[in-house]
Amino acid sequence: MSGSAILEARDVSRSFGPIEVLHEVGISLHAGEVHALIGENGAGKSTMMKILSGYLAPTKGELLLDGKPVAFSSSEDAEDQGVILIHQEFNLAEQLSVEENIFLGRELKRGFFLDKKAMRAEASRLLSELETRVSPNARVSDISVSDKQMVEIAKALSRNARVLIMDEPTAVLTNREAAVLFRQIERLKAAGTAILYTSHKLDEVAKIADRITVFRDGARVAVAGAGEMSEDQMAQAMVGRELSNLFPPKAISPSGDVVLSVKNFSVEDIVHDASFDLKRGEILGFAGLVGAGRTELMEGLIGVRGAQGGVEVDGKDVALGSVKDARRAGIVYLTEDRKGRGLVLTQRMRENLTLLALDRFGRYTIDAKAEDAALTKAIAEFDVRAPSRDIRVGNLSGGNQQKLLLAKTMLAEPDIVIIDEPTRGIDIGTKQQIYDFIQKLAASGKSVIVISSEMAEIIGLSHRVVVMRSGRITGVLQAKEINEDQIVRHAMGLEGRAAA
Amino acid sequence: MTSETASAAPARSGFRIDFHIWGPVIALIALVALGAFLNPNFLSYGNVTNVLARSAFIGIIAVGMTFVITSGGLDLSVGSMAAFIAGVMILIMNALVPSMGVGWGVILIGMAAALAVGLIAGLVNGLLITQARIEAFIVTLGTMGIFRSLITWLADGGTLSLNFEVRELYRPVYYDGLLGVAWPIIVFALVAIIGETIMRKTPFGRHCAAIGSNEQVARYSAVHVDRVRLMTYVLLGILVGIATIMYVPRLGSASSSTGVLWELEAIAAVIIGGTVLKGGFGRVWGTVVGVLILSLIDNILNLANLVSPYLNGAIQGVIIILAVVLQRQRKAER
């Protein structure tokens, strides 16, 4: 413990309408300390972060800055006092350059004019400190997601943050980029910045946190210093029950007939000559680095991207020119981008649930009663936890959104389900439910393709693993070959190039 | 219903009025009350019929516009399109009189032509937007100019007049009605009811809202985005044709000043009615209320001597801005 807290929340509660989501919780952030806040989706982490950074006001309780009560009138007010939140979904002006974004709102000036030279120099300095190669005059819409993260951090650094609040910063970063981020966090720590950090990756938390607070259902259930809590204990505290093995036992590799056969498949200029088979009842993992072309391959398969090559379903050639064609052939794709491509955030659960399979609810007019019944069923079957049925989907937590997206996809009654990053940004309890679901799906004779960047997920779920690298399939691993070493070697191009 | 739903309900009821839903209706009722207060003739059969019948043109178009805007599009060309259709319709009917004589045959062919031209015009707009991938604003700004110029050219800068005898025969389509209700009102009501049903109860309506909210989600959910978009413009084109069919018998002529600013009135009615300009949410009944609000303002200013009718546009402008402000307030509360 290093001195008194810079920023502290005391007995803070917050309600939305009649629903209280945070119940008299406290948290204190100290200079030079990384404080990890963990909890399942919907545990109240985001609400707490927003309260600390001035986006929301607490309904009860108070904030103390340097020991004195403070009420931030807005996020700008909080930023002026050195408390900065880096959002999980970035707050960057896409059409402006990196440098313009870093200085947005507090541009350096010489007289009436912008001092571009000084800003360029300062931006370059910040970016090189962050070890990123993004150019200060690149347009933000043109840079990668991980670079955007770095720009957000550079922006916060340029504001002399005393308290930096990071909402799952590594969710979109590769391991290498995450390592750079951790080094930066160490540097900020040494400089006396207080850091609040949230992540679903518990190994990460164990590595970098000095102090850990666990939230569950809007209440604080545990606080511990670094080293006092193992990853297992963290997970248990979050879920509130003992987590049995995260992955259900694998069924024996199915030897059933091939339901999907893809031959020499190329997608735009991204995927080349991909061939693979999928058997009935099989879970086929797709591993590879971010950008290996896994998502693009599947998007080509379901007809949202231009593609050439052969696709056979149940031994018959099929032409899949659109999502509708794919659906007719029994193939559905569950996107990794649930907010951008999966769900209409401004609409309610009912409209979202039935959008893909709307034809099942009447040919000419929609049977609203049947829709309602389907929603009731989906809520029960997929354990969607929503405060009300009429809630806009954008207000659901990530885990519940993902469950709704699963329900929506399954409503199309597919035989082949392609799931892209099934558990990205999702808490551990929900993860387990989704793994269970995938396993049951396969056991019931459906075939599942799982794309995942989480090694444990690929290894824990898949009967066979296809590894991709730079748009090509570099290997298909089975049984004992499915281990981290083999997957990494294929993903990095150290081994294999065999056709699948 | 889950128990959680029940517990959430009380906060929403109570005395607070949801302006997002009821605002336009309250405004309409207030206007009717104001009109009745200012002029005893306001609620007379003659005045009511007059107001409703004259709203019918904009109203029929605005119903179609609701679908276009809900799916994230816009059509600025409908006013000039109406003028162009009226011109073509008149020319065709006049040309047929020598060979077919004056009769309903000529008028029916004229009507069919109006629908066909509307359909083709909507198709052109829609294809340029969905296939050539040009923004709706640009495409329809272009076709707005083209249709306007074409009608001016067809009329040679003057006015196209319908053959006098055909006009006498056709007149009742605007001025007569069924059981005392004028035909334009009946047609407007039918279009509105069918439109509301399509928006609310059919996959097409649902798809329009989904596309307007997030085109990508719609695409990934097996919605034929381009086809649905195209259909909204075609539907609007046909409705412009229907509006023109009701409009031509009123004056029996078309000129370069026919249908001027109709597009703005139609768009304004849609927005006042609560449809979101950016797309994603639309309601046809709201549009109907919006149309009525706009024409009542005009009517009240003409009947009462409080404010100069020349200020009509200013008052309509205030109402439009106010409608959007009320929508936004509601959003911020969520």
Q: Tell the residue number behind the tokens 């985001």, with chain if given.
A: A46
The answer to whether the beta carbons of residues B252 and B170 sit under 8 Å apart is yes
| Residues A274, A225 share a domain | no
| Residues A102, A10 share a domain | yes
Amino acid, single-letter form, for residue A92: L
Question: Is the pLDDT assigned to residue B330 strictly greater than 60?
Answer: no
Cβ count near A380 (within 10 Å) = 9
pLDDT in tens, B201-232: 999 999 999 999 999 899 999 899 999 999 99
Tell me the backbone φ, ψ of residue B35, rounded to 5 degrees.
-60, -45
> Percent of chain A, pLDDT > 90?
22
Residue A398 falls within a domain, yes or no? Answer: yes
Give the confidence band of A241 by pLDDT, cuts at 50, 70, 90.
low
| A residues 376-415 lying closer than 8 A (beta carbon) to B | 379, 386-390, 392, 408, 412
Range of the structural domain that residue A33 is part of: 5-239
In the predicted model, what is the mean pLDDT of residues A283-301?
87
| Residues A267, A377 share a domain | yes
Give the confidence band of A210 by pLDDT, cuts at 50, 70, 90.
very high
A472 by DSSP, 3-state: which? Answer: strand
Q: State residue A169's pLDDT score.
A: 83
Q: Mean pLDDT: which of A81-95, A144-158, A311-325, B146-160 is highest?
A: B146-160
Q: State residue B13's pLDDT score.
A: 40
Q: State residue A419's pLDDT score.
A: 93
List the CATH number of the domain containing A73.
3.40.50.300
With an 8 Å Cβ cutoff, is B8 touching chain A?
yes
Q: State residue B283's pLDDT score.
A: 92
**Position with higher pLDDT, A425 vs A48:** A48
| Residues A119, A11 share a domain | yes
Residue A499 falls within a domain, yes or no? Answer: no
| B residues 263-282 lying closer than 8 A (beta carbon) to A | 280-281
| Residues A463, A336 share a domain | yes
Distance, CA of B315 to CA of B300 (rounded, Å): 11
| Residues A189, A95 share a domain | yes
What is chain B's Cα-based Rg? 21
What spatial distance separates the first Cα and last Cα of chain B, rounded to whole Å?
22
In the predicted model, what is the mean pLDDT of residues B305-309?
78
- In chain B, which residues have their Cβ closer than 8 Å to the Cβ of A304? 219-220
A421: CB partners within 8 A, 6+ apart = A336, A451, A452, A453
Tokens of A205: 């938390």
Task: Select the residue from A365, A375, A384, A408 to test the B interface by mutation, using most B Cβ atoms within 10 A.
Answer: A365
Residue B11 falls within a domain, yes or no? Answer: no
Question: Is the pLDDT assigned to residue B118 strictly greater than 90?
Answer: yes
- In chain B, which residues have their Cβ closer than 8 Å to the Cβ of A379? 2
With an 8 Å Cβ cutoff, is B11 touching chain A?
yes
What's the pTM value of the predicted model, to 2 decimals? 0.77
| Residues A386, A297 share a domain | yes
Nearest to A341 among B201, B213, B217 (CB): B217
Alpha helices in A302-338 (DSSP H): 323-328
Residue B16 falls within a domain, yes or no? Answer: no
Q: State residue A3's pLDDT score.
A: 59
Residue B2 falls within a domain, yes or no? Answer: no
pLDDT in tens, A85-129: 988 767 788 888 898 888 887 788 888 888 888 888 888 988 888
In the predicted model, what is the mean pLDDT of residues A242-261?
73
**Interface contact flag, B217 A366, Cβ < 8 Å:** no
Question: Is the pLDDT assigned to residue B303 strictly greater than 90?
Answer: no
**Position with higher pLDDT, A20 vs B279:** B279
Chain-wide mean pLDDT for chain B?
88
Residue A180 falls within a domain, yes or no? Answer: yes
- In chain A, which residues have their Cβ closer than 8 Å to the Cβ of B208? none
Residue A405 falls within a domain, yes or no? Answer: yes
Q: State residue B134's pLDDT score.
A: 93
Cβ count near B280 (within 10 Å) = 22
pLDDT in tens, A310-337: 888 988 888 888 888 898 899 999 998 8
Give the confidence band of A18 by pLDDT, cuts at 50, 70, 90.
low
Residue A246 falls within a domain, yes or no? Answer: no
Residue A252 falls within a domain, yes or no? Answer: no
Residue B231 falls within a domain, yes or no? Answer: yes
In the predicted model, what is the mean pLDDT of residues A489-495?
74
Q: State residue B248's pLDDT score.
A: 93
pLDDT in tens, A171-188: 777 777 788 888 888 888
The residue of chain B with its CA nearest to that of A335 is B220
Tally the C-alpha atoms within 13 A of residue A210's C-alpha that lie toward its C-beta: 18
**Interface contact flag, B8 A351, Cβ < 8 Å:** no
**Interface contact flag, A333 B210, Cβ < 8 Å:** no
| Residues A300, A229 share a domain | no
- In chain B, which residues have their Cβ closer than 8 Å to the Cβ of A323? 219-223
Distance, CA of B232 to CA of B279 (rounded, Å): 13
Q: State residue B6's pLDDT score.
A: 37
3-state secondary structure chain B: CCHHHHHHHHHHCCCCCCHHHHHHHHHHHHHHHHHHHHCHHHHCHHHHHHHHHHHHHHHHHHHHHHHHHHCCCCCCCHHHHHHHHHHHHHHHHHHHHHHHCCCHHHHHHHHHHHHHHHHHHHHHHHHHHHCCCCCHHHHHHHHHHHHHHHHHHHCCCCEEECCHHHHHHHCHHHHCEECCEEHHHHHHHHHHHHHHHHHHHCHHHHHHHHHHHCHHHHHHCCCCHHHHHHHHHHHHHHHHHHHHHHHHHHHCEEECCCCCCHHHHHHHHHHHCCCCCCCCCCCHHHHHHHHHHHHHHHHHHHHCCCCCHHHHHHHHHHHHHHHHHHHHHHHHHC
Residue B265 falls within a domain, yes or no? Answer: yes
In the predicted model, what is the mean pLDDT of residues B232-257?
94
Nearest to B8 among A18, A333, A359 (CB): A18
Question: Is the pLDDT assigned to residue B5 strictly greater than 50?
Answer: no
- In chain A, which residues have their Cβ closer than 8 Å to the Cβ of B206? 351, 355, 358, 366
**Interface contact flag, B334 A392, Cβ < 8 Å:** yes
| Residues A457, A362 share a domain | yes
Tally of domains within chain A: 2
Last residue of a domain, one of A239, A274, A298: A239
Residue B56 falls within a domain, yes or no? Answer: yes
Q: State residue A245's pLDDT score.
A: 63
| Residues A266, A218 share a domain | no
Q: State residue B287's pLDDT score.
A: 95
Residue A128 falls within a domain, yes or no? Answer: yes
pLDDT in tens, A58-74: 999 999 999 899 999 88
Q: State residue B18's pLDDT score.
A: 65
Residue B109 falls within a domain, yes or no? Answer: yes
In the predicted model, what is the mean pLDDT of residues A198-210?
86
| Residues A200, A133 share a domain | yes
Question: Is the pLDDT assigned to residue A256 strictly greater than 70?
Answer: yes
**Interface contact flag, A19 B206, Cβ < 8 Å:** no
In the predicted model, what is the mean pLDDT of residues B237-253?
94
Residue A249 falls within a domain, yes or no? Answer: no
**Interface contact flag, A355 B210, Cβ < 8 Å:** yes
Tally of domains within chain B: 1
Q: State residue B150's pLDDT score.
A: 95
B75: CB partners within 8 A, 6+ apart = B65, B68, B125, B136, B140, B233, B236, B263
Q: State residue A236's pLDDT score.
A: 78
Chain-wide mean pLDDT for chain A?
85
Range of the structural domain that residue B228 is part of: 21-31+40-333
List the CATH number of the domain containing B82.
1.10.3470
Q: What is the ipTM of this complex?
A: 0.79
The residue of chain B with its CA nearest to that of A388 is B5
A150: CB partners within 8 A, 6+ apart = A127, A130, A132, A134, A177, A180
Give the confidence band of B31 by pLDDT, cuts at 50, 70, 90.
confident
Residue B286 falls within a domain, yes or no? Answer: yes
| Residues A288, A196 share a domain | no
